[in-house]
Structure 1
C-alpha cells in the first residue's frame, strides 16, 4: 500500500512538472513600438507604386504596412521584414494621393506613421483598351487585344471584357456578352448576331473594379449557320481506309477504335455529358476525318473538352486535346488535295500549371473553346482533326484523345 502511494505521488509530481514546463512565454514581449521606416523612394508602376525604404534596426520588427484609400474604401497592403519594399496597386487613375506606411512589431505595435505622396501610372486595362482591334466576322465580330502587364504573370493583370450593343428602343447600352483573360495576347469572338447593321461597344474592367470607356463601332456581322451534325459521317473508311492528308502521304488514317461505349458519334450528338474516347497508346498523330455532308466556307469551330465523369480535374488534362491541326478538302479520294485549315495549341486561360484549374478555367472549358478559320480559305466538304498530343502527354509519341463535343460553323456553298 505504501509503495502504491509513492507511485501515485510520483506521477502527480511528473504531471505538475510537465504542466509547468509546457507553459510558454510570448515569442516577443516587447511593449515599445518599432521605429518607423526611413528614406522612402517611390517608383510608379501601372495602376500603383512600388515603395522602397530602409527598415528600422529592431529585433521585434515583423512587417511593414501601407494604408491608403481606394475609391472611398480604406485598404492596406503588407510586406514582410525580409523585403525592403512594398507594392500598392488597384488605382484606376493617375491622380496624386497619399499613402501611409507603418513598421509593425511582432506584438502588433505600430510605429509612428510615414506619409508620402504617390502618382500611379495608368492602370493595365488602359494599355489593353488602346490595343483593341474590333472587326466584323461570321455571326458577329472579333476582338483582338494585347495585355503587356500579363507578361509578368500574376492575377493583378487579369481583365474582364464586357460587350454591349445599342438598343434604339431603350436608348441605352445593353450588355450581352463578356470574356475573361490573364493572357498577354488574345482574340475573342462575339457570335449569334444577325447580319444587320448594329452599333456595338467594348469596355474593360480589372479586379479592383476600375473601368475603361466604351469603344464604339458600327458593324454588320457576316451570315453564318451551324452545320447540321446529323449529316456528319465518319470518313476514316470511305469506303476503304483513307490515306493521311498531304504532306504525310505515307500513313493510313488510323481507325482509332473507341473505348467502351464512347463512340465516334458522341462528338456530334449535342450532349455534353458524354464524350468520344479513343483507345489508348496510339502512335501520334491521330487522324480523325469527318464528312460534313455539305460543302461550306468554314468560319469557326467550337471544341468542348471532357469535363465530367471523374471529378472537376478533367479540364486541361488527361486525354483532352492540347495541340492539333485541322485539314480540309473537297475530294477525299485525292491525298494531294488536302490543305491545312488551322493549327492550335490549347491555352489555359489562367496560365496555371497542368492539373491546377481555377474556377474560370473550369467555366471556360464547360462553355466550349472557340477557334476561328482564316476567312480567305476555300470551301471544303471534308475536315480532318489531327491530334498531335494531349494534356497528359505534351510532346509525347503515343497517346489517346477524348472530346465531348465538336461543332462547325460557316456559310454553306
Structure 2
C-alpha cells in the first residue's frame, strides 16, 4: 500500500511540475537586446530586366538577423528580406524602366531596425515589353501562329483575343512559357479574316501593349480516325524498312511487331489515356504504317499532327518518341528502293522529320512542371509546305527518349491526331 501511495505521489509531482512549466506561446522576438544594429554599407546596384540586384556590406553586430529592402510596386509597399549569411538581395516585378528608390535596413534579432540607407535603381526593359516587341504573328492551318523571343527566360503568359461579332474583344487562348525562344498556335477557326489581339503579362500583372493584326487562317479539317486502318499485315512486304542499325537487336520480319496488350488501334481510338506499344528489344528504326482512309475515297495534304505521350513517370522517357520521320505514299505495293522519290504514286516520299524537345532542357528523368503540362496537353507538330497528297503514312521511329541514339528500342504513344486538306 505504501508503495502505491509513493507512486501516486510521484505522478502528482510530475503533473504539477509539467503544468507549472506550461506557458502560452511567446511570439515576441527571442532576443531581448533592444539596441539597433548599424546600417549596411557600400551598397551597389546591378540593374536587370524588370529587376535589380543590390549588394552591400553587413554591419559587424552580433544581434544582426537579416537585411530587408522596402520599395513601392504598383502603388503598394513591398518588402524583400535576405538572411545575415547573404550580402545581396533582389527586388523585382517592375513593368517599366523608371528610376525607383529602395530603402535598406539591417534588422536585429529583436526586430529593431538600423538607420535607413537609400539606393536608386533603374530596371532594364522588362520581359513583358521585350517579348512583346519580338512577337511575329502569321496565318497557319485553322488559326494563327505566334513566334517570340524571351531572352530572360521569364515566366510569362500570352493572351490571344479576337474581335467578336459585336465589335468587342473576346478571349481565345492563354499560352504560358519560360522558354527563351518559341512559338505557339491558336487553332479551330474557319478561313475567314478577323482582327486578332495579342499581349504579354507576367506574374506581377504587368501588361504589354496589345498587338492588333488582321489574319485569315488557312483551311484544314480534322482527319476522321474511324477511317484509319492498320496495314502492317496487308502491305507487310512493302513497308519501307530501312536497313536496321548493326547489332540492334531481334530482327522484325517484314513488319513491326506490336504488343498484343496495347494494340495499334489504341493509337487512333480518340482516347488519350489508352496506349499503343511495340514489343521491346527489336531493331530500330520502327515502322508504323497507317491507311488514312480505308474506304479509298480520299487523299490528304497533311498540315499538322498532334501526339499524346505516355504520361506518369514515362514523360520524356522510356518509349515515348524522341526523333522520327513520317513518310507517305498512294501505292504501298510499289517499292523501288529509292527512298528519295518525289512521286508518292511510285514510291514512298518523306514528308518530314522531327525531334522532340523538352521546354526545360533538363536531362532524361528530370521534368519541370512545364514539361509535364506540355506532355499532358499533347504536342503539336507541323508538316512542311509543299508536300504531296497521300493516302498512306508510315511513322518511322528513329529513337525514343529511353534509347536516344541506341541500337535497340521500342515505341509507345497514347494517341495520334492528324489535320489536313482533303484532295
TM-score grouping bracket, smaller chain normalisation? 0.7 to 0.9
- The residue number in structure 2 matching 1:258 is 259
Q: Does 1:203 align with 2:199?
A: yes
Partner of 1:186: 182
Partner of 1:8: none
Do residues 58 (structure 1) and 54 (structure 2) align? no
The equivalent of 1:384 in structure 2 is 394
Return 5+ residue gaps in structure 1 as ranges: 1-25, 151-156
Residue 221 (structure 1) shift = 0.9
Task: Provide, for residues 11-45 of structure 1, a one-character-per-residue CA deviation record: whole Å limited to 9, x for no partner.
Answer: xxxxxxxxxxxxxxx99765433212112122211
Q: Could you say which residue in structure 1 is the equivalent of 2:301?
A: 297
Distance 1:240 1:340, change over 3 A: closer
Uncovered stretches (5+) of structure 2, i.e. residues with no partner: 1-28, 342-347
Does the 8 Å contact 1:236/1:242 carry over to 2? no
* Cα deviation code 1:260-312 (max 9, x no counterpart): 2x1101111111231112222333332212222232111100101223xxxx4
Taking the aligned partners of 2:328 and 2:243, their CA distance within structure 1 comes to: 13
Name the CA shift for 1:256/1:68 in 2 (closer, same or farther; >3 Å).
farther
Structure 1, residues 242-276: CA drift from partner, whole Å, max 9, x if none?
Answer: 3435687999664231252x110111111123111
Secondary structure of residue in 2 paired with 1:149: coil
* Residue 224 of structure 1 pairs with residue 220 of structure 2: yes
| Closer, same or farther: CA 391–79 of 1 in aligned 2, 3 Å | farther
**Is contact 1:182–1:351 with CA below 8 Å preserved after alignment?**
no
- Alpha carbons 2:37, 2:64 under 8 Å: kept: yes
- Compared with structure 1, are the counterparts of its residues 244 and 179 closer, same or farther at alpha carbon in structure 2 (3 Å cutoff)? same
Match of residue 72 from structure 1? 75
Q: State the partner residue of 2:100.
A: 97
* Separation in 2, partners of 1:80, 1:259: 59
Query: Across the two proteins, how many residue pairs are aligned to each other?
Result: 399
SS in 2 for 1:65: strand
Is the CA contact 2:239–2:255 (under 8 Å) kept in the aligned structure 1? no
Partner of 2:162: 165
- 2:90 paired residue number: 87
Q: Return closer, same or farther for 1:49/1:233 CA change in 2, 3 Å cut-off.
A: same
Alpha-carbon distance between aligned partners in 2 of 1:103 and 1:259, rounded to the nearest angstrom? 68
Task: Report the Cα distance in structure 2 between the residues aligned to 1:65 and 1:347, rounded to whole angstroms.
Answer: 40
Out of 380, 405, 409, the position equivalent to 1:399 is: 409
- TM-score (ref. length: structure 2): 0.82
Q: Secondary structure at the match of 1:386?
A: strand
Root mean square deviation of aligned Cα: 3.4
Match of 1:324 in 2: 324
